[in-house]
Amino acid sequence: MSLDKAIPHDTIVQSPAGALESRRVFAVGEWRVECTLGSNAVVLSMVTPCGTTQSFQLAWTDAQDIAEVLRRKTRALPNAVPRAHTAAAVGSVQ
């Protein structure tokens, strides 16, 4: 793990309203999507390169909306490279 990936940093993002805003961000070293038992939801867990984990429960409809927005936003990236697999439940960022 390189030190620059372990340290949170500030970056500039463009809000949905178009304003430029500063955000404190953390790199993602690994992520998981897991089904919950007894509900129509999934749990999205993100792990930083230094091992800190945050998990979020997403309703099925929110998970679908997030997936669609990620598809649109990543397609628009200047260096976007199509992935061979689109339905992975576990991933890591290299």
pLDDT tens for each residue of 46-66:
999 989 999 999 999 999 999
Torsion of CA 26, 71, 41, 56, to 10 degrees: 10
1 pLDDT above the threshold of 60: no
What is the reported pLDDT for 30? Answer: 94
6 pLDDT above the threshold of 90: no
33 pLDDT above the threshold of 90: yes
Q: Which tokens sit at 17?
A: 């309203």
> Quick one: average pLDDT of 64-72?
93
Q: Which residue has the tokens 């793990």?
A: 1
Radius of gyration of the CA atoms of the chain, in A: 15
Average pLDDT, the chain: 83
HSE toward the beta carbon, residue 9, CA cutoff 13 A: 9
DSSP summary character for residue 36: P
Inside any domain, residue 87? no
Interstrand relation of 30-35 and 41-47 (parallel, antiparallel or unpaired): antiparallel
94 pLDDT above the threshold of 60: no
25 pLDDT above the threshold of 70: yes
Number of domains forming the structure of the chain: 1
Inside any domain, residue 90? no
Inside any domain, residue 82? no
Domain range for 51 is 3-77
Inside any domain, residue 22? yes
